Structure formats: structure tokens, C-alpha cells
Amino acid sequence: MSLLKFWQKQAKKTAGAASPFKKNRLKTKLQILTILVIFGGGWYSYEVYIARPAMAFEGIPKHQDWKMELTTRVIRNEAFMVGYSEIFGNPLWVKYQVLPKPDNIQRLPRPDRFVHDWRSLRCWLHFPCVNHDDYTGTGYDRGHMAPNHVIATRYGQNAQHQTFLMTNITPQRPNLNRRAWQRLEEIAANHFSDNLGAFWVVTGPIFDEKPQFLPGYKMIAIPKAFYKIFIREAEDPNEPPKVLAFIMPQNLNGNEDLSDFLVSVRDIEQQTGLDFFHKLDDAVEAYVETLIDPQSWQFNQRIANQRARY
């Protein structure tokens, strides 16, 4: 037998001996892949069909513009959900439920810094990731959309810390953030909560067609105004939900009569391109989204003119 034939024969024997091992390794890889597919599919189904709908009264807000819908990432936290724009570096909508005030309310310490949210695609790319220092020295506050106080007192410390994720933050002028906006949040946390029970809030920024941006290369868009929608079930199940909505521009002194900023949900939809309560019956949706009804929320002149704490 020639040397060449000998080595060819030995190679065939080796290949034959190794094939069961290769088959087992391939089988193991397929099993792992199958487990990952099943786990991923189960997680996706739970997230989309169970977890998110439970935190989105009458539907997750939808964009009428497919490009905005495509670039908005839905991020679910423990106590609130965010529609985060990877293009604008802002939450376009935030949705949460205000529960009745607990009897023994706890005042949790406020975190010192805001933190980036690794779930943002910007942070996957690293360099455009929005963080605490991007707002420093810009003249704009880091404006919470899901508020620190309400989330902390209703849902606890971990949920509170999530309100300091930058996916919940948008540029707000100090007079708006610390005064007018704070006044509206305090009305929700106290007056509405004490008198009306649980209700839902949808809130977020409104942008010009071509918005300005904070200084730097991160392309963090500056809103021209902000909206806040309150909605709750009526006491009579045969009646439509009760809705109250506001739009507040950035350039406020902070002590204005808040009733001056009452609008309909339809006004907000026209300015944001969002469809908020699309799960409602069409006729009911059309009715509640065109209504301005402060009486159903006991929102009177005294409440509308409460002073800011700051």
C-alpha cells in the first residue's frame, strides 16, 4: 500500500469516528436555538399582549406618521410606559396610572442624578446616548414626564428611580417645570386623587415641524409645548370615560390660571400626530376626544390658581 493511500484510509477512519460527536454538537446547538426561539417568542407575546395593554388604558398611543411609529421605541417600566423617540432623544408619550393616595405616605429621598437608559438604541450605539450632563448649562431643566413624587408614593423606590432614566426626561424651561407644570402635577397627586380615585395620565412634549436642539452633538430636540391628558372610567358603566386635557407652552411665568390651557384631546392629537384612545368604540372616542369638561374633575378657579411651591 502506498503512503498516500494509507493516509487517505486513516483520514476516512478519523472522519467516521468524529461524525457522532459532530452530530451531537449540531443537535445541542439546535436544541439551544429552539429554546431561545421559544423563550423569545414567549417574552414577546407576554410583553405585547399582556404586560403593555395592562398599563395602557384604551390602547398604546399610535403615530399617524409611519416614520415616527417606526423610530419610537416602547419601553415598559415598573409603574409607567414610555414611547421614546430615538430621533428626537425625547419621550413622545408617557402613560401611567395614579392610584389613590396611601394612608401612610412615604417621602422617599430624591436621587441626585439622572441616568442613561441602556434600552434606548442611542445607548446601544454609545456616542449619541442621552445622559445627565447633556442638559447641564443649557438653560433647560430635566423635566420628568412620569413624575417623581406620584410614582414614588404609589409604587415605591425602585419605580421612583426609573423616573430618573433619561428616556423619561425632556427639556423644560425652569418656570414651566418648577411652577406651572409642578402645580398641575400637585393637583393630580392631591386634589384629583383625593376626590376621584384612580385615573390614568398620558403626557409628553409637542414639537415644531423643525425643532431646535440642545447644544452639543446628541441632537436632543427642544419642545415648544407639553400636553397632559387625564382620563378615568365614569362611575356609571354606561357613561363614557371622563377626560381633562391641557397644553402648556414653554414660555410661561408659572403663575398663570391653569384653566387657560384647557384643550380637547383632539387638539393634542392634531399637534402631536398621535392617536391616544383608539381601543374605545369609535363613537365614544369621538365624543370624549372633543369634550372639555372641567366640572367632572372638580377643576374650578380656586384649584386652577393654586400657587407653586417654588
Q: What is the separation, in whole angstroms, between the first and last Cα of the chain?
A: 98
Q: 264 near 292, Cβ under 8 Å?
A: yes
What is the C-alpha to C-alpha distance for residues 262 and 107, in angstroms, rounded to an integer?
31
Which stretches of the chain are assigned E, i.e. beta strand? 62-63, 72-76, 80-85, 90-98, 141-144, 169-172, 199-206, 225-232, 242-249, 262-263, 274-275
- Residues sharing a CB contact under 8 Å with residue 73, sequence separation 6 or more, in sequence order: 83, 84, 86, 119, 120, 121
Annotated catalytic residue: which of 63, 126, 132, 144?
A: 144
Q: Is 278 a catalytic residue?
A: no
DSSP reduced 3-state for 246: strand
| φ/ψ of residue 145, rounded to 5 | -95, -55
What is the C-alpha to C-alpha distance for residues 299 and 109, in angstroms, rounded to an integer?
30
Query: Alpha-carbon torsion 211, 217, 220, 224, what sign?
Result: negative
Instruction: Output b/e per residue, 155-181; b: 16+ Cβ within 10 A.
Output: beeebbbbbbbbbbbbbbbebbbbbbb
| φ/ψ of residue 4, rounded to 5 | -65, -45
DSSP reduced 3-state for 301: helix
Active-site positions read: 144
